[in-house]
Amino acid sequence: MFLTQTPEWQTLGESLRTAMLSLFAEQGLSEDNFALVVLTKAADGSAQGFAHRGEDPLYPCSLVKSFHLLHALAALEEGRVEPHGELDRALRDMIRYSSNTATNYAIDCITGTTGDTLLQGAEYLDWVSKRERLNRFFWALGWPEWEGANISQKLMDDTRYGREAQFAGAEGANLNALPPLAPARLLWELFHGDLPLSPPVKARAQAILRRDPRGAEADNPAYQTCEFLAGDLPAGVEVWSKAGHNLWTGDAKTSWFKHDMARFAAPGRRPLTVVLMTQGQALAQQHPAAFPAIGRLIWDMSEEITRV
């Protein structure tokens, strides 16, 4: 694991977990329906923090879009994908507004596949192999945190049909999954690590993930800020994030999830990376103020340990 849990972080993490369970039980938070990763860059340059259920593969909703963003940018830089305006627009909109249609266009461009109608035999196996490029790109990075991950499925607003249903499996055995430590590792590598991207391309990815919690779009639900972890942070905190949010989809395995992966930075403090993944109708639909309150709690409780 790239993350070191020092005694100080273990103490803070357990305090955070206890406080969250106490303060947000009435909003639906329970021991077994959330996972949390919190980390910062220590003085020696290493990643130090805390993880609760960090290695459990969970249905990730739109958190996968941050992975597709970096893969697409790498493919463009390597010449595996031809640059064009529609792809630029899709990469922007799949992050800024969490567009599933934009994401699926980017997936088609990266993998050379299309979806929907049924396929059989060798044609289907060839299609699966191409789609699995999405996973192979990250397996090749050698991250232990990728164990149990799968991002090969397209993003759907409801149930799947045709080859997309074939690929997901009759019982959803091949649905997308991410251990919470995987998105934490992604943000760490983008800002502090050794991703196979040039500095200008890293800067482009960071710019696309940048949020303005008090900007003109902050109240737009599709912008996924005001009802997520950054929604109640103090003025002046910089935010980079990608959320995931599913209500009822027609499939119990993909319904009622709310997640966020975010990086917060402010003067006088080391940047803080937070990944929160939750399941349940109460948190996903009935209590939109819970995530902003949790984000503020994490920010406030981590002040001492992140102070420069």
Q: What is the pLDDT of residue 28?
A: 97
How many percent of the chain have pLDDT more than 90?
Answer: 95
Q: What is the pLDDT of residue 89?
A: 98
pLDDT interval class at 1 (50, 70, 90): confident
**39-53 average pLDDT score:** 96
> C-alpha angle with apex 74: 70 to 80, nearest 5 degrees?
135
Residue closest to 210 by CA, chosen among 165, 240, 234: 240
pLDDT interval class at 224 (50, 70, 90): very high
User: At residue 158, does pLDDT exceed 90?
Assistant: no
pLDDT interval class at 194 (50, 70, 90): confident
Q: Which residues pair with 103 in a beta bridge?
A: none
Report pTM. 0.97
**Is residue 141 assigned to a domain?**
yes
Domain range spanning residue 258? 7-306
pLDDT interval class at 146 (50, 70, 90): very high
pLDDT in tens, 281-293: 999 999 999 999 9
Which helix (H) or strand (E) is 114 found in, with range?
none
- Domain CATH code at residue 166: 3.40.710.10
pLDDT in tens, 225-272: 999 999 999 999 999 999 999 999 988 999 999 999 999 999 999 999
**Is residue 168 assigned to a domain?**
yes
Q: What is the pLDDT of residue 300?
A: 98
**55-61 average pLDDT score:** 97
Q: What is the pLDDT of residue 276?
A: 98
Give φ, ψ of 48 to 5 degrees: -125, 140
**Is residue 194 assigned to a domain?**
yes
Q: Rounded to an integer, what distance in angstroms lies between the CA atom of residue 242 and that of residue 244?
A: 7
User: At residue 180, does pLDDT exceed 90?
Assistant: yes
**Burial, 133: exposed, middle or buried (Cβ in 10 Å; 0-12, 13-18, 19+)?**
middle
Q: What is the pLDDT of residue 116?
A: 86
Mean pLDDT of the chain: 96
Q: What is the pLDDT of residue 171?
A: 87
Q: What is the pLDDT of residue 159?
A: 83
**Is residue 173 assigned to a domain?**
yes
pLDDT in tens, 81-117: 999 999 999 999 999 999 999 999 999 999 999 988 9
**Is residue 113 assigned to a domain?**
yes
Structural domain count, the chain: 1
Q: Rounded to an integer, what distance in angstroms lies between the CA atom of residue 23 and that of residue 222?
A: 27
**Is residue 1 assigned to a domain?**
no
**Is residue 2 assigned to a domain?**
no
Q: What is the pLDDT of residue 202?
A: 97
How many percent of the chain have pLDDT more than 70?
Answer: 100
Conformational region of residue 243, where left means phi above 0, alpha means psi within -120 to 50, and beta covers everything else? beta
- Please say whether the beta carbons of 266 and 281 come within 8 A: no
